[in-house]
Amino acid sequence: MTVRLRGRLRGDEGSSLIEFVGATVILLVPLVYVLLSVFSVQRASFGASEAAREAGRAFATAPDAATGLQRASYAAGLAMGDQGVAGDPTLVFTAAGTGCHATPVAPGLLPGSSYTVCVLEDVHLPYADRGVLRQVVPATVHVVGSYTLVVDRFRST
């Protein structure tokens, strides 16, 4: 009886390598995709925060509001480009403390005035618009960065 049991145990040699490789591929491919998606969203999120801050600073140091809006738009695009996010972000000014989903306002450079500068960007996830992932994963993630801008009260009018 012990001879028959030893024969069964020896008949299972060599299959653990195939099982290990199969399990590794099955687990590693989704993990790599999740990491790529998280890094893409994090990069855009950091870029949106930086873009809002730089847009606010560019607007506050401009000689007039029209030039400030041009500078702010350019600074936001530059900051997003530094993070590897292509395209022009949407730049919105709202009243201070109301958040980014409030009604946009036309900013001015009156001394002591304050605004919330919001940068809105849609991040496209890698390969989410193709194949099976189209039904499972959203293709874009909405990212918002905000900065509270206070115009210097000692600024000349």
* 95, β-bridge pairs: 115
pLDDT digits (tens, 9 = 90+) for 4-32: 655 555 555 667 778 888 888 888 988 99
Spatial distance between the Cα atoms of 70 and 74, rounded to a whole number of angstroms: 6
pLDDT digits (tens, 9 = 90+) for 94-125: 999 898 999 999 999 999 999 999 999 998 88
- Identify the three-state secondary structure at position 152: coil
Percent of the chain topping pLDDT 70: 90
Return the pLDDT at 74: 95
Side-by-side strand order, sheet with 140-150: 90-95, 114-124, 140-150
Give residue 151's Cα distance to chain centre: 28
Please give the sequence-ordered ranges of beta strands (E in DSSP) within 1-156, or none if there are none.
Answer: 90-95, 114-124, 140-150
Please give the sequence-ordered ranges of beta strands (E in DSSP) within the chain, or none if there are none.
Answer: 90-95, 114-124, 140-150
pLDDT digits (tens, 9 = 90+) for 121-138: 998 888 777 777 677 777
Q: Is the dihedral of CA 69, 54, 143, 30 positive or negative?
A: positive
